Amino acid sequence: MLFGRKNKIPIKIADKQVREWKYTTCGYCSTGCSMEVGLNPEGRPIATRGVAGADVNRGKLCVKGIFEHELFNSAGRGKEPLYRGRYFEDFTTIGWDAALDTMGTEIKRIQHSYGRDAFAVVSTGQIMTEEFYTLGKLVRGVLGTNNYDGNTTLCMASAVSGYKRSFGSDGPPGCYDDFEHTECLLAFGSNLPEQHPIIYWRLKEALERRRFPVIVVDPRVTMFAQFADIHLPITPGTDLVLLNSLAHVILDEGLEDHTYIEAHTNGYAEFADLVAHYDPVSAAKICGIDEDTIRHVARLYARAGAAMCIWTMGINMGINQSTHGTDGVCGINNLSLITGNIGRPGGSSLSITGQCNAMGTREWSSCSGLPGYRQLENAQHRREVAAFWGIDADFFPAKRGLTMTDIFPAIETGQIKGLWLVATNPMTSMPNSARIRRSLEKLEFLVVQDAYVDVETTQYAHLYLPGAVWAEKEGCFTNTERRVNLIRKVCEPHADSRPDHWIFSQLAQRFERSRNMKFPETTSAIFDEMRELSRGDGRILDISGMSHKLLEEKKGIQWPYRAGDEQGSPRLYSDSKFQFPDGKARLLALPYIENNEVPDADFPFWLNSGRVVEHFHTRTKTGKIGNMNKFSPTPYMEINPDAAMELGVRHAAYVRLVSRRGDAVVMAQLTQRVPKNMVFIPFHFHDCVNRLTLGLLDPYSRQPAFKQNTVRIEHIDQELAARLNIESRAY
Ligand SMILES: Nc1nc2c(c(=O)[nH]1)N[C@H]1C(S)=C(S)[C@@H](COP(=O)(O)OP(=O)(O)OC[C@H]3O[C@@H](n4cnc5c(=O)[nH]c(N)nc54)[C@H](O)[C@@H]3O)O[C@H]1N2
Ligand SMILES: Nc1nc2c(c(=O)[nH]1)N[C@H]1C(S)=C(S)[C@@H](COP(=O)(O)OP(=O)(O)OC[C@H]3O[C@@H](n4cnc5c(=O)[nH]c(N)nc54)[C@H](O)[C@@H]3O)O[C@H]1N2
Ligand code: SF4
Ligand SMILES: [Mo]
């Protein structure tokens, strides 16, 4: 027999008979990969492939993207609106007109009886930007409730607050191309290879061309940590101590960029006074990283010609999602500022965003303000938007209302009576599920608008509205590097589901107040309206040169992109002009306050949570795609083998975890990935980790601490547990 490459019989790939490929953008994570969906002769989506000429992914896709065409007709999709008078009765089908009439009547009843703010709206990071803009117009301009927020409060709120506190505006300053120029990469609480595989691939490509140190800060030995040059296994929730200590070493050894600090920042004296207290010897005792390593990393970072920091939920949860979230983000920004690493090729402070359109909601949804990064607190901004929409500026509140995490407690206290959830599943994704369940049960009227009818939250709904998903409609997503990408419609909405923007504008028509307002029918017309509203002197979020057509042609454009511009802007603040009135950035003195739940005799394990590559969030999508779900169909936890041995827990045995909030049953996976005093649970499963989490809130962003909680481990009858688990993974 002949061996070797030359004599190999080529593998035959079955011809799928794709008749046509349609351009679109991936609807899972914030990387923003351009893709094409292949349709068979009957027009059914049967394949997905990456677009070679796209700047972001250059033909590549990760495992979720490759099977994305399978989600259009997957199990559990909503087919038609459903209604019931009380949440424990059976649903009956109701046509769209009647559904929207009922919704309009109920909103009016609640607002009339209890005040405008008694009806709350919580949206998402996963619908199109044009849909966000339309929802904002409806909520701020027509319904007039100030209790309006998005699930991005669970995710990116600390990044937003941190950017605003340091630079005067939201907006990630860097881009993926920075990997090609940087001389040192510091990654905080981010597991790129699993959560943003294509951004990771861009990093690997850059590293193959040119070596530079990669340092990963994460309490787990993640896949990213395994590939790093240096792994700092930090004590959960103490990133701020490490950051202050790195700054301490930089100032102590004179490695800062003094010219940059003088010319472009305020607050240096207070900042320097504060970090003086964070010498590596004292810091090491709190953050668990030894003093020599702190000094070594500080020198590597500060001596690099250009250095960048990236972070996601671990800094976004060790930082964003810890109660120190916002301070952590500002701590990273401080490091970048004292070394002049902002707005330079390879010198950046880049928050890696989460959901496909987490950026779109920040920019255009009016959740925390008004469209285009305008603020409710600014009278001029209120006047501009009111004039543009044709309403009275006094209708806008002068201050933002409750965030998602404060809306649920306000339901408990009876302040809020009605709730509309758009593309978010809080029964699985919010901390302390028992408390969320009790809140939902108290509502007089709950509307769940979701692409899937089987989301757990629907169990408490009075009205269910089926939304069209992803490429069943047309519009834009903005990715992590501010790139606006186009999603072309590749197939019709499933059954009688409707695009979210259609639902918003149809509901608007049920209200007298919308009479003089325009709600365009197509998303390209909505985009043109947003473009006009973005035009302005010195506005960073300027998209006045963009159109849907151009976005497809260029396969995405990074804002700002002003009318007449030749190309988008890879970086912000390259001119070192920040968005505060004096144009300077702020160095912030950030004392560390120890307020997380920490292990003790009753609850001796850290409970850490996060994601795995094959699943997305609450598994509404990936739980039903065979090639995704097969990799982890069962709720499980990672536990260190030494800890498991002491407790007598075998690999693949079921155990019961108990926290101060509740309990959960999971299967044990023995792995050295976690230290001996920690367990890690992917949060994708219903009735699992969020039954246990506490969710202390960041004082600025109101983002919950999902990753720093404590539990104990108990034995459980194996047969009973197996039955429980089979039930909990019903799909
Ligand atoms: N496959 C997949 N990809 C996704 C998603 C998904 O559901 N599935 N979701 C998307 C979304 S919305 C988001 S927000 C991103 C999240 O992306 P990531 O933040 O990269 O993912 P996580 O697994 O949530 O958390 C990352 C790491 O934070 C670490 N961590 C925990 N506590 C601390 C701490 O105190 N300090 C530090 N430094 N690290 C800590 C955890 O150990 C974990 O390894 O992923 C996006 N991409
Ligand atoms: N313990 C723990 N909890 C966490 C986290 C963690 O790391 N640990 N991470 C947090 C983070 S970062 C995030 S972002 C949240 C995510 O929390 P959620 O937003 O609640 O999670 P998803 O499952 O993405 O919910 C989105 C819903 O929108 C639906 N949907 C998708 N596209 C469309 C559409 O176009 N239209 C409509 N109408 N519906 C659509 C989906 O079916 C799904 O039900 O979870 C948070 N919860
Ligand atoms: S990396 Fe993110 S955007 Fe790209 S294919 Fe994977 S899930 Fe989609
Ligand atoms: Mo997120």
Q: With both helix axes pointing from N to C terminus, report the angle between 500-508 and 96-114 in degrees, rounded to the nearest 10.
A: 60
Parallel, antiparallel or unpaired: strands 184-188 and 214-217:
parallel
**Protein residues with C-beta less than 5 angstroms from the ion ligand 4:** 155, 354
- Residue 431 domain boundaries: 82-154+367-558
Helix (H, G, I), strand (E, B) or coil at 43: coil
Q: E strands within 87-211?
A: 92-93, 119-123, 148-150, 184-188
Q: What is the pLDDT of residues 516-552, one digit of tens each?
A: 999 999 999 999 999 999 998 778 999 999 999 999 9
661 token code pair: 């909030």
Residue 583, in any domain of the structure: no
Residues 39 and 112 in one domain: no
Report how far ligand 2's centroid is from the alpha carbon of 617 (Å): 5
CA dihedral 157, 161, 164, 169 (to 10 degrees): 10
Cα distance between residue 38 and residue 332, in whole Å: 43
Quick check: 728 pLDDT over 70?
Answer: no
- CATH number of the domain enclosing 473: 3.40.50.740
- CATH number of the domain enclosing 716: 2.40.40.20
- pLDDT recorded at residue 593: 85
Residue 6, in any domain of the structure: no
Report how far ligand 3's centroid is from the alpha carbon of 146 (Å): 34
Mutation test of ligand 3: which of 24, 25, 28, 66 has the most ligand atoms closer than 8 Å to its C-beta?
Answer: 28
Pocket of ligand 3, beta carbon within 6 A = 26, 28-29, 31-33, 57, 61-62, 64-65, 196-198
Report how far ligand 4's centroid is from the alpha carbon of 728 (Å): 23
Report how far ligand 4's centroid is from the alpha carbon of 354 (Å): 4
251 sits in which H/E element: helix 239-252
723 pLDDT band (50/70/90 cuts)?
confident
Residue 254, in any domain of the structure: yes
The CB density around residue 662, as the number of other CB atoms within 10 Å, is 16
Report how far ligand 2's centroid is from the alpha carbon of 185 (Å): 29
Quick check: 325 pLDDT over 90?
Answer: no
| pLDDT, average across residues 609-620 | 95
Q: What percent of the chain has pLDDT over 70?
A: 96
State the average pLDDT for the chain: 94
Q: What is the pLDDT of residues 206-233, one digit of tens each?
A: 999 999 999 999 999 999 999 999 999 9
- Which ligand is nearest to the Cα of residue 233, counting in written order? 1
Atom nearest to 680 CA in ligand 1: 42
Does the beta carbon of 218 lie inside 6 Å of ligand 1? yes
What is the domain count for the chain?
A: 4
Residues 145 and 235 in one domain: no
Residue ID of nearest Cα to ligand 1 atom 28: 314
Residue ID of nearest Cα to ligand 1 atom 11: 354
Which residues, in sequence order, are CB contacts of 265 under 8 Å at separation 6+?
Answer: 337, 338, 584, 585, 586, 587
Residue ID of nearest Cα to ligand 2 atom 26: 424
Report how far ligand 4's centroid is from the alpha carbon of 225 (Å): 20
Helix (H, G, I), strand (E, B) or coil at 194: helix
Atom nearest to 611 CA in ligand 1: 23
Residue, of 390 and 1, whose pLDDT is higher = 390
Residue 598, in any domain of the structure: no
- pLDDT recorded at residue 322: 44
Residues 211 and 268 in one domain: yes
Residue ID of nearest Cα to ligand 2 atom 17: 429
Residue 592, in any domain of the structure: no
Q: What is the pLDDT of residues 327-384, one digit of tens each?
A: 899 999 999 999 999 999 999 999 999 999 999 999 999 999 999 999 999 999 999 9
Report how far ligand 3's centroid is from the alpha carbon of 72 (Å): 17
Residues 442 and 532 in one domain: yes
Q: Can you give the pTM of this predicted structure?
A: 0.96
Mutation test of ligand 3: which of 24, 35, 62 has the most ligand atoms closer than 8 Å to its C-beta?
Answer: 62
Report how far ligand 3's centroid is from the alpha carbon of 205 (Å): 17
- pLDDT recorded at residue 461: 98
- CATH number of the domain enclosing 66: 3.30.200.210
Residues 63 and 150 in one domain: no
